[in-house]
Amino acid sequence: MGERSESLFKKANTVIPGGVNSPARAFGSVGGDPLFIERGEGSRIYDVDGNSYIDHVFSWGPLIHGHAFPPIVDALKDVATRGTSFGAPTSTEVELAELVCEMVPSVEMVRMVNSGTEATMSAVRLARGHTGRSKVMKFEGCWHGHADEFLIQAGSSALTTGVPDSPGVTEGTAADTVTAPFNDLEAVQKVVSEVKDDLASIIVEPIAGNMGVIPPAPGFLEGLRELTTDIGALLIFDEVITGFRVNPGGAQSLYGVTPDMTTLGKIIGGGLPVGAFGGRREIMSDISPLGKKVSQAGTLSGNPLAMTAGIQMLKALRADGVYDRLESMAASLEEGWQSNIDGAGAACVINRVGSMMTMFFTDQAVTTFDDAVASDQEAFSRYFWGMLEGGVYVAPSQFEAVFVATTHSEDDISASVTAHGKALAKALGS
């Protein structure tokens, strides 16, 4: 795609494994080499060879207000002049924690960490410490970051690299993770009946985003809520993607199901490294240094830069009409893409919730992991390159989400629809 990207990637490969700091960025499942990005502004990114793209990845979800969002940039410029980290409390972490507690129904107290992985890993450890039980249930195709206990039938980059069960995860660890198919409550009940007395928690992406976007089937989340309450296990909603994305209060507000704990990341940091886990006071009061002193710590947790970016992000999300705009732009995008699909008679389906969506190369409804993996990944790869050639940047994987940001204009949406029509033709070989 460009000389500078290619030479940078060549150099990167000599010092960084695979030339990337996260396998999701490698173009493994679509072929070719990743683009090196020079800068982003609003709805666009610009690669090192001067090519510009309408972005639908936004750093895998965090940048709901687009790139270089002025309130975040200005606030960071200011706060950085007073130091970047102290390893001591600052007012910024109190302010962000108060915002999260106000906005997310299940969260009475919250602990900041530095990534979604740290958030989910800590939440599960807390669930185990709080309940005194060992096992955790996750769902096939869901991705909760790369802590050992989650690398069992995992989604996202584990799927695109074809390693849903990672080497390096011991049998001992795997033994404490049980899995079930997403959206199959009967199967969940069957697995739970086998481990219920030792099940500490069920962790779920309330809207799957890492096997492509798959909404919860009617009654699925309610069923998990009832089941976990009945057996004394903790229900954890992993809202690293959906938190502040589909609703100011996340998927739990959208669907009216309140978990015991919630994990957050991405949007809450405005593009800086961040994660958070929170829940009811009586649960969070067992995390060190309180109560049972479940261990959890982090040098840069709550650092003033990430907190400042997060505060500006959440404040901007509370402005009137933000979610209405996201919904109307995303609906236009879906409508335009769908009309291209209909026009081409293509075997594609779109799943969308708010400003996150996925087009699957399959003619079946996609409501389960098995439906998602039945998609034609070869066709997706051709489509991916067609979109890049058309100046639109989507994730290099069938199993990720397309995101819409408040900075997408009507022109961006129509340009994306035009590029999509051409990329679809390329994918279908027509």
Binding region for ligand KE4 (CB under 6 A): 22, 24, 60, 115-117, 120, 143-145, 156-157, 205, 209-210, 238, 240-241, 265, 275, 400
**In the 8-state DSSP scheme, what is residue 267?**
G
Bond prior to 23 in cis (omega within 30° of 0): no
Q: Which residue lies nearer to ligand KE4 by CB, 99 or 213?
A: 213
- Least Å from the CB of residue 146 to ligand KE4: 7
**In the 8-state DSSP scheme, what is residue 291?**
T
Q: Which residue lies nearer to ligand KE4 by CB, 79 or 207?
A: 207
- Least Å from the CB of residue 123 to ligand KE4: 10
CA 308/CA 73 separation, integer angstroms: 10
Q: Which residue lies nearer to ligand KE4 by CB, 59 or 288?
A: 59
- Least Å from the CB of residue 9 to ligand KE4: 17
Q: Which residue lies nearer to ligand KE4 by CB, 24 or 45?
A: 24
CA 363/CA 49 separation, integer angstroms: 37
CA 78/CA 73 separation, integer angstroms: 9
> 303: number of CA atoms within 13 Å, CB side?
19
Name the one residue in this structure whose structure tokens are 């400003």: 355
In single-letter form, the type of residue at position 425 comes to A
Q: How far is CA 1 from CA 25, 36, 359, in A?
A: 15, 10, 24
Q: Which residues are CB-contacts of 11 (< 8 A; sequence separation ≥ 6)?
A: none
- Least Å from the CB of residue 117 to ligand KE4: 3
Question: Alpha helix locations (H) across 258-321?
Answer: 281-284, 304-317
CA 166/CA 188 separation, integer angstroms: 23
- Least Å from the CB of residue 238 to ligand KE4: 5
Query: Measured at CB, which residue is nearest to ligand KE4?
Result: 116
Pair type for strands 402-403 and 356-360: antiparallel
Q: Which residue lies nearer to ligand KE4 by CB, 167 or 345?
A: 167
Q: Which residue lies nearer to ligand KE4 by CB, 158 or 333?
A: 158
- Least Å from the CB of residue 89 to ligand KE4: 23
- Least Å from the CB of residue 62 to ligand KE4: 9
Could you tell me the end-to-end alpha-carbon distance of the chain, in angstroms, rounded to an integer? 23
Q: Which residue lies nearer to ligand KE4 by CB, 157 or 351?
A: 157
